[in-house]
Chain A
Amino acid sequence: MLMMLIAGIAVLAFISASAMFLIWWERKVSAHIQSRFGPMRVGWHGVLQPIADAVKLLLKEDIRPAEADKLVWWLAPFFAVVPPVMAFAAIPFGKSLIPKDLNVGILYIMAISSVCVIGIFMAGWGSNNKYSLLGGMRSAAQIVSYEIPMILSMITVVMHANSLSMQKIVEAQSRHWNILHPNMLLAALVYTIAATAEVNRAPFDIPEAESELVAGFHTEYSGMKFAMFFIGEYTNLFIIAAISTTLFFGGWHGPFLPPVVWFLSKTYLCIFIWMWVRWTFPRARVDQLMAFAWKVLTPIAFVNLAITGWLLLK
């Protein structure tokens, strides 16, 4: 019981530290891509900037639109932030460093992180703002369609490892990483694209589409409620990067260094790629996004699944 409590506190501390680091890092990456400096004033190269931002957001007035659906509007930020935190329960940081090694780990993570869409949809509906409503609708459509190729690409890994448990999947990669198989490479690509859509990041950030819907579902949120969405987004980013590390890049396996270091460096490298992509590409349109999911990604994922099955049975 005490161990559980300590693990919980450690995970929560890690989540907030990681989210803050990611916010700072994203700002730095974007700044350097755009030949700027980014935050430079608070602390060394602005490392304390997220803390300053958090203080600012805490002190801000919490504005509620007069016509908002009170309860839904109030609950939405929690739905956005709680599922990604819960997903940490099955993320393997090291050989025994996992909050709880569920035997259905990957299924659990997928199921939990799908709840996020409800938070976004609630925010869109509860704000009683037309832009937000459009954002919420887009988000629902997008996440539902991208979950299918995402799960199909995960199943290829599960078929290799013969288990749904995250630790077993990592152990199955003790000799060589999954990414080295050609069919796994394809699965990793499908997963990367689908996961980008899953966490609403550019080029698939249509729910918040800044230039069309102002800020989409979180237009009306201010102060700490907005910060909740922000933390939720970055925690989600960490989760999908951690999953891709576990599934395709050998998890915590690696020579010389301790497993945690390997796991975190791989994860943050994956995150860097997501950031790099975000600051490079234009946004896709909503119908193109759906067409891409159903006409390209899903068939590829199915074919890949069939090939994997055939390779395993051979």
Chain B
Amino acid sequence: MNTSQTKDICTEEFLINMGPQHPSTHGVLSLELKLDGEMIRDCTAHIGYLHRSMEKLAENRTYTQFIPYTDRLDYVASMNNNMGYVMAVEKLLNLEISDRAKYIRVIAAELNRIASHLIAIGTFAQDLGAFATPLFYCFREREKIIDIFDQICGNRLTYNYMRIGGVQFDLPKGIDEKIKKFIKYMRSKVDDYDWLLTYNTIFLARSKHIGLLPKDLAINYSVSGPNLRASGVKWDLRKDEPYLVYEKLEFDIPVGENGDSWDRYKVRLEEIRQSLKIVEQALGALPEGDPTVKIGRIHKPSPSEIYLRTENPRGELGFFIISDGSAYPYRLKIRSPSFSNLAVLPELVKGLKIADIVCILGSLDILMGETDR
């Protein structure tokens, strides 16, 4: 068919606003889609519906007072956010923390990574139309992690567990048994997901070769975390820039082949397995000592600038802090992984169907609390 003929039968494009109230935009994200029938011609993401000006708030809070706010950045992985921020302040203050605190931080962060990936997998399946069943299974498993956190720190979503120089509480008695039981339980459940989702033929048809993210494009957009690893780049801060005790622990970094939605999902599933391994090792090697620290109301670092990045479940979480010597940070910049991961979305969806954008968005696993900050 030559072009003049196709022009004649070309239908009118129409504009559709997907979100901010839409079941599968993962919070308040608005996507402006230009559609030709079911085909997506153009996509623009509008963010900012959940903007709470976290960075400005930080300038009016002391270093300790800002810890609860980091819970609300990436609210499904609060522990990791807490840890990233607290470690950045520790670097600013040149604080050393006890070995036990380091191990406890690793355990908490990895358990929370599992919880976060469970939500990612569950909502991804939900976006693909698996009527809530995988989502409920994932939440059922996540509930066990939350129960553990509830015992450790007393809250179920916004943990506020890390403190500058250590952690708030030591692990309660009998919790290691509970974690070990959970690891055993979780291993069997991850195998279930393989048949419920991973190799399900409809699931494969929906997510394989959809939203191909090539290696160089991913690097150019500074995509990080499981999304980057799914594109075949072996980059994990836990291995490449080890912090805490990660260099002493043995684990693999799962890497995808094509960088499609299925690979991104699969990398997350594998990371759950690796995280279980890390928690098991860290629990075995837990040293004696006192991880807790007296809460310091005021910290006055010397005037300096630091940047510290950690591996969040969604990617690279960085805190850039400028201190002018007072009790308040002069400037605090948060480099949130979801923001960069979302930026690549319009590149991925062009020419695909409307059902695919939901699939790609689910597989990128963005979180608006962190994107808008």
Contact = CB atoms under 8 A, between A and B. Distances in A.
A282 B14 CA distance: 28
A262 B176 CA distance: 55
A96 interface: no
Interface in B196-213: 196-197, 200, 202-203, 205-206
A235 to B, nearest CB: 21
A286 B206 CA distance: 10
Contact of A211 (B24, B37, B140): B24
Interface string B104-135: 00000000000000000000011111111100
Query: Chain B, interface size: which category?
Result: 20 to 34
B219 interface: no
Interface string B312-334: 00000000000000000000000
A176 interface: no
Contact of B358 (A130, A212, A278, A281): A212
B354 interface: yes
B23 to A, nearest CB: 6
Contacts of B125: 282
Interface string A272-301: 000000111111111110000000000000
Given A130-B14, A211-B127, A283-B128, A34 B133 contact: yes
Interface string A184-209: 00000000000000000011011001
A278 B131 contact: yes
A30 interface: yes
A212 B200 contact: no
A288 B203 CA distance: 12
Contacts of A279: 131-133
Interface residues of chain B: helix, strand, loop or mixed (majority)? helix
Interface residues of A, number: 31
Contacts of A214: 22-23
A133 to B, nearest CB: 9
Interface string B6-35: 000000001010000011100000000000
Interface in B331-364: 353-356, 358
A175 interface: no
A62 interface: no
Nearest to B129: A283
Given A212-B358, A285-B356, A34 B205 contact: no
A39 B24 CA distance: 25
Contacts of B358: 211-212
Contact of B23 (A202, A211, A282): A211
A210 interface: yes
B130 A282 contact: yes
B221 interface: no
Contacts of A234: none
B306 to A, nearest CB: 42
A36 B132 CA distance: 12
A34 B137 contact: yes
Given A131-B16, A212-B355, A281-B202, A36 B131 contact: no
Interface of A: 30, 33-36, 130-131, 134, 137-138, 202-203, 205-206, 209-214, 278-288
22 contacts: A30-B132, A35-B136, A36-B136, A203-B129, A210-B129, A211-B23, A211-B127, A211-B129, A212-B129, A213-B354, A278-B131, A280-B130, A282-B130, A282-B197, A282-B202, A282-B203, A283-B202, A283-B355, A285-B353, A285-B356, A288-B205, A288-B206
Interface of B: 14, 16, 22-24, 37-38, 125-133, 136-137, 140, 196-197, 200, 202-203, 205-206, 353-356, 358
8 pairs of A and B residues whose beta carbons are closest in the complex: A283-B129, A34-B136, A282-B128, A282-B130, A211-B24, A285-B355, A211-B127, A130-B16
Given A34-B136, A211-B24, A214-B22, 5 more contacts: A210-B23, A211-B126, A211-B129, A281-B200, A284-B205
